[in-house]
């Protein structure tokens, strides 16, 4: 299955190749359960990589040994870090799990300290690296997928939220906001996930099902159109690493409504300037949606400022930063 | 089958310094120490290790030489091309200085602040700073001190425990004298220093410092410089003896990541490799 990290890696390879570098993407299968979490890390440790330079990205690829290793950290194994207390983490509080967590942090420190340069995908990831590992990383931002296809459009009668329907993305906040809205704004949440049925049930029980659309997976063309026609974008996940949705919304000229604990999203959403930062409650999100609905000029102004900021990102800058001082052999 | 380790010829003239003797034990993980008297007359080991300047005269052949130099030794006229090792060695180039208190510190695992906090939660302890000094009002029983240091958010330590505490990654508070006993040059970077009357308060402040992970990492990194396994690796590298390949390489990789040899992770990895080498007794790792 291909997720955000895989797309990110492929886009990086494409950018490096475009810049004239011979580039190869190396992947190893990884088991994510605690009992086997060290296996792939150790495998990376032993894999011979004969290249002039290695750019490691997410866990566990940064365990690769290379005299010229640079890390652009997407994320560590979050189940052992900031998400250790989440219901889906198997790093529980029993002695065996705590020892595995201790060892994993130690391994991470050794592997990450070896890098001759360390970047992170966002300030959020850099802060986690500092907080848990005591290691520096410089945020290096990149354009989101579809950056060259997203465009502005009219401010329609719906707010849009493209996201996986999973607990860490909190699509339920938006569904629960509908009954609090004074305006008749509709809600479109595109994406698949395990929460779909419960979201439908919530809307039915609140009597708001008619204002909620859950089209599931939408192809790129439709996604671009949904962004372009929205009044604004609501994106309030829990401690997001980076959040392509924010940048995609900006490139479509839309303001973003978010929550104070949405992590990387807050690096881009400046309250009243590029979007609205709510207190994260359904009522507060509803009030923000109403604000956009009653003042579309303000929505357009915020969207335009977001677009200006997101347009500054480029893969050329990313490649230049990652290879700075590397030279050619 | 374990590949043959390179031999390290030992040149001894008098009873070696106890730390030098411990260092040889650490080196034995990667090389095979052999007393020079056990070598044939013209036999040349992979490298020589002389345990004093005087003993280095016994080296022969075209192989690298390391020499243990103690405080008071005249190193202004060092043996040509020798790697100097010991308390009197310069801390530069190929030479390896061995600091005060060096020993087997690798046996103390690093406990980062996040794991400490979760361990405290598990056993129902509050976020806390502790005092392990013998002079403290309620000193902790000797055998329990390492456990307390591994759990503490910060600790007031004395000369006896400061290195263990640093190896465990504990955020330490100590008096100037205690710090100077192990880290005369870098002390202020790794330990909060205070007068006898202010240590407890300093520890409480440290226990909630925002940069705990960085401080803990610095403490561990400093202790690692005094760990004889690390010293052994540096000396062998200076002598041109690199990691061997194959199964030993796997053990080396595990070791460089700080994996205890008896841990479930090490057993699993080495067990998987053993199935390929025929050393495996049975079952699927």
Q: SS3 letters for B180-219?
A: HHHCCCCHHHHEEECCHHHHHHHHHHHCCCCCHHHHHHHH
One domain, residues B56 and B89: yes
Residues from chain B that touch A45, judged by Cβ atoms under 8 A, are 253, 257
Domain that holds residue B148: 113-225
Q: Which two tokens stand for residue A38?
A: 């060290």
One domain, residues B256 and B167: no
pLDDT on residue B2: 52
Size of interface A-B (CB pairs under 8 A): 84
pLDDT on residue B243: 55
Residue B108 is assigned to a structural domain of this protein: no
Q: Judge whether residue A31 has pLDDT over 80.
A: yes
pLDDT in tens, A52-65: 999 999 999 999 99
Residues from chain B that touch A99, judged by Cβ atoms under 8 A, are 263
One domain, residues B117 and B211: yes
pLDDT on residue A305: 98
pLDDT on residue B282: 42
Q: Which two tokens stand for residue B159?
A: 């000369």
Nearest CA in chain A to B114: A132
Name the region of A27 (left: φ>0; alpha: ψ -120 to 50; beta: rest): beta
One domain, residues B143 and B84: no
Number of domains in chain B: 3
Residues from chain B that touch A132, judged by Cβ atoms under 8 A, are 112, 114, 213
One domain, residues B57 and B22: yes
Pairing type for strands A256-258 and A275-277 reads parallel
- Closest C-alpha to A6, from A30, A34, A25: A25
Residue B105 is assigned to a structural domain of this protein: no
pLDDT on residue B281: 45
Residues from chain A that touch B249, judged by Cβ atoms under 8 A, are 46
Delineate the domains of chain A, giving CATH numbers in brackets.
Answer: 4-142+314-322 (no CATH), 158-310 (3.40.50.2000)
Average predicted confidence (pLDDT) for chain B: 88
pLDDT on residue A94: 95
One domain, residues B167 and B260: no
Residues from chain A that touch B252, judged by Cβ atoms under 8 A, are none
Q: Is A98 near chain B, with CB under 8 Å?
A: yes
- Closest C-alpha to B205, from B162, B172, B159, B166: B172
pLDDT on residue B246: 45
pLDDT on residue B74: 83
Among A134, A135, A136, A137, most B C-beta atoms within 10 A, so best to mutate, is A134
One domain, residues B144 and B65: no
Q: Which residue has the higher pLDDT, B63 or B279?
A: B63
Residue B52 is assigned to a structural domain of this protein: yes
Rg (CA), chain A: 21
- Counting residues of chain A whose pLDDT is more than 90, the rounded percentage is 94
One domain, residues B195 and B217: yes
Mean pLDDT in residue range A126-142: 96
Q: How many CB atoms lie within 10 A of CB A205?
A: 9
One domain, residues B235 and B94: yes
**Cβ separation A45–B253 shorter than 8 A:** yes
- Cα dist from A299 to A72, A157, A250, A293, B105, whole Å: 34, 13, 11, 8, 60
pLDDT-derived band at B284 (thresholds 50, 70, 90) equals: very low
Residue B164 is assigned to a structural domain of this protein: yes
Domain boundary pick from B194, B225, B256: B225
Residue B141 is assigned to a structural domain of this protein: yes
**Cβ separation B253–A42 shorter than 8 A:** yes
pTM value is: 0.84
Whether residue B79 contacts residue B96, with contact meaning beta carbons closer than 8 Å, is answered with no
Q: Is A92 near chain B, with CB under 8 Å?
A: no
pLDDT on residue B134: 79
**Cβ separation A106–B121 shorter than 8 A:** no
Residue B1 is assigned to a structural domain of this protein: no
Q: Which of A45, A106, A131 is facing B258, going by the closest CB pair?
A: A106
Q: Which two tokens stand for residue B1?
A: 């089958």
Whether residue B260 contacts residue B237, with contact meaning beta carbons closer than 8 Å, is answered with no
- Closest C-alpha to B59, from B72, B50, B46: B50
Q: Judge whether residue B1 has pLDDT over 70.
A: no
Q: Is A107 near chain B, with CB under 8 Å?
A: yes
- Counting residues of chain B whose pLDDT is more than 90, the rounded percentage is 58
Residues from chain A that touch B211, judged by Cβ atoms under 8 A, are 130, 134
pLDDT-derived band at A6 (thresholds 50, 70, 90) equals: confident
Residue B33 is assigned to a structural domain of this protein: yes
One domain, residues B214 and B276: no
One domain, residues B26 and B95: yes
pLDDT in tens, A202-234: 999 999 999 999 999 999 999 999 999 999 999
**Cβ separation A130–B265 shorter than 8 A:** no
One domain, residues B20 and B117: no
Residue B142 is assigned to a structural domain of this protein: yes
Nearest CA in chain A to B259: A103
B125: three-class secondary structure by DSSP: coil
């Amino acid at each position: 299955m291909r997720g955000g990290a895989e797309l990110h890696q492929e886009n990086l390879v494409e950018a490096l190749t475009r810049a004239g570098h011979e580039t190869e993407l190396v992947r190893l299968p990884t088991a994510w359960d605690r009992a086997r979490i060290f296996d792939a890390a150790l495998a990376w440790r032993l894999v011979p990589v004969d290249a002039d330079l290695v750019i490691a990205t997410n866990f566990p690829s940064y365990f690769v040994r290379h005299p010229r290793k640079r890390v652009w950290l997407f994320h560590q194994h979050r189940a052992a870090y900031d998400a250790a207390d989440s219901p889906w983490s198997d790093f529980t509080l029993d002695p065996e799990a705590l020892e595995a967590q201790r060892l994993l942090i130690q391994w991470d420190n050794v592997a990450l300290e070896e890098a001759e340069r360390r970047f992170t995908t966002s300030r959020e990831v850099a802060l986690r690296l500092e907080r848990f590992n005591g290691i520096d990383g410089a945020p290096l931002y990149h354009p989101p997928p579809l950056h060259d296809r997203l465009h502005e459009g009219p401010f329609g009668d719906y707010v849009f939220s493209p996201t996986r329907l999973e607990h860490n993305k909190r699509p339920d906040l938006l569904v629960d906001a509908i009954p609090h809205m004074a305006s008749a704004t509709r809600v479109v949440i595109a994406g698949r996930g395990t929460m779909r049925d419960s979201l439908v049930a919530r809307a039915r029980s609140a009597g708001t099902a008619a204002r909620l659309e859950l089209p599931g997976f939408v192809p790129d063309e439709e996604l671009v159109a949904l962004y372009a026609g929205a009044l604004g974008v609501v994106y309030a996940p829990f401690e997001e690493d980076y959040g392509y949705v924010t940048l995609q919304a900006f490139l479509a000229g839309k303001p973003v409504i978010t929550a104070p604990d949405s992590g990387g999203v807050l690096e881009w959403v400046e309250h009243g300037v590029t979007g609205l930062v709510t207190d994260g409650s359904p009522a507060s999100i509803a009030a923000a949606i109403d604000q956009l609905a009653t003042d579309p000029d303000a929505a357009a102004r915020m969207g335009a400022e977001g677009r200006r900021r997101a347009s500054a990102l480029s893969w050329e800058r990313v490649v230049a930063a990652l290879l700075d001082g590397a030279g050619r052999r | 089958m374990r590949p043959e380790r390179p031999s390290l010829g030992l040149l001894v003239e008098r009873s070696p310094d106890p730390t030098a003797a411990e260092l040889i034990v650490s080196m034995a993980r990667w090389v095979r120490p052999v007393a020079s008297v056990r070598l044939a007359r013209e036999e040349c080991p992979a490298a020589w290790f002389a345990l004093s300047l005087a003993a280095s005269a016994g080296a022969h052949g075209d192989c690298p030489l390391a020499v243990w130099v103690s405080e008071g030794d005249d190193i202004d006229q060092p043996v040509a091309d020798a790697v100097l090792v010991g308390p009197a060695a310069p801390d530069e180039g190929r030479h390896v200085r061995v600091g005060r208190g060096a020993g087997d510190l690798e046996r103390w695992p690093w406990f980062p602040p996040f794991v400490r906090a979760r361990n405290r939660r598990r056993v129902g302890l509050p976020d806390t700073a502790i005092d392990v000094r013998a002079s403290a009002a309620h000193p902790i029983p000797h055998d329990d001190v390492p456990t307390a240091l591994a759990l503490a958010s910060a600790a007031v330590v004395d000369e006896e425990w400061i290195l263990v505490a640093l190896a465990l990654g504990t955020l330490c508070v100590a008096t100037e004298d205690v710090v100077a006993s192990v880290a005369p040059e870098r002390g202020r970077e790794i330990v909060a220093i205070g007068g006898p009357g202010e240590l407890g308060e300093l520890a409480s402040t440290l226990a909630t410092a925002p940069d705990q992970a960085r401080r803990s990492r610095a403490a561990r990194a400093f202790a690692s410089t005094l760990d004889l396994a690390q010293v052994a690796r540096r000396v062998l590298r200076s002598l041109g003896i690199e990691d061997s390949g194959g199964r030993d390489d796997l053990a080396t990789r595990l070791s460089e990541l700080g994996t205890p040899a008896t841990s479930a992770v090490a057993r699993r990895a080495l067990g998987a490799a053993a199935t390929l080498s025929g050393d495996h007794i049975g079952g699927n790792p």
